[in-house]
Amino acid sequence: MNIAAINDNEFKQFQDLIYKTAGISLSTAKKPLVSGRLAKRLRDRGLASYGDYFKLLTSGQYPEEFQMAVDLLTTNETYFFRESKHFDFMRQQILANHRRGKPFRAWSAASSSGQEAYTIAMVLADSLGDHPWEVVASDISSRVLERARTGNYPLEQARHIPKNYLNKYCLKGTGSKEGTFLIERSLRSRVNFMQVNLNTSLPKLGEFDLIFLRNVMIYFDEDTKRQVVRRIMGQLKSDGHLLIGHSESLNGIVDDLKQLMPSVYRKP
């Protein structure tokens, strides 16, 4: 079946839909991304236009299809030890000053397919060992969370993991799993993946010593940023730290956090 190219009106419908659902602002430059990611769904549904697919999504009759479309339009690329200076700061400044025996909780608030959450877990396991710690990892996409829970990744993604961590926390796949690696079971058990939409009221997550909110605010407009950061701050302990992406800023967004260095903030 031939699918008609997405037109400006259809693209505007999906722009409005993903903004209303996830707070994500898609620029017109994302038009090829929208059409490319959704094309297979149109074929699977036997639909010839993006307008027909939009009608199907908004009919209320196909909640699983709606979630699948949201998953496709909100999934972002990530990798292990991305923006590695944050993990150096975490190890050298935050964990080095953490009182042993006191539980430490970290939240990867836009965890995508889990690489950030497992990176946090590796640093915590190495620094705190058997002392109590926990990682909560959340994303709006149920599809990437399912993948993240498996802890199984293509072997090429291991290139950013320090060799000592790779040897200690990762298992090289063999047989049918050749070409992949697996996050070690005991480390996986310390990471709790859950579906959370940062654009709505948050579930009861408890308070955290450290929150990663990286490389997601670049997709939000100013008003959405303020709302999301306000919700996030409500989950951060006093003296807790918030880390955002190196290309992001909280200037004009919030005044209640102390900036320690670019992209690193502390709650007084």
Chain centroid to CA 190: 17
The residue annotated as part of the active site, out of 37, 41, 82, 149, is 37
Q: For residue 42, what are its two tokens? A: 């149109």
Please give the backbone phi and psi of residue 241, each rounded to the nearest 5 degrees, phi first. -115, 140
Is 250 within 8 Å of 259 (Cβ atoms)?
A: yes
159-173 b/e with 16+ CB inside 10 Å = b? eebeeebbeebbeeb
Q: Does residue 41 carry a catalytic annotation? A: no
Q: Which two tokens stand for residue 241?
A: 């730290």
Which of 71, 105, 139, 209 is catalytic? The answer is 139
149 is catalytic: no
Q: Residue 140: helix, strand or coil by DSSP? A: coil
Query: Which amino acid, residue 50?
Result: Y
Contact 210, 240 (CB under 8 A): yes
Q: Record the tokens describing residue 18, joined without a space.
A: 């993903």
Cβ neighbors of 76 (< 8 A, separation 6 or more) are 110, 112, 215, 216
Q: Which residues participate in catalysis according to the annotation?
A: 37, 139
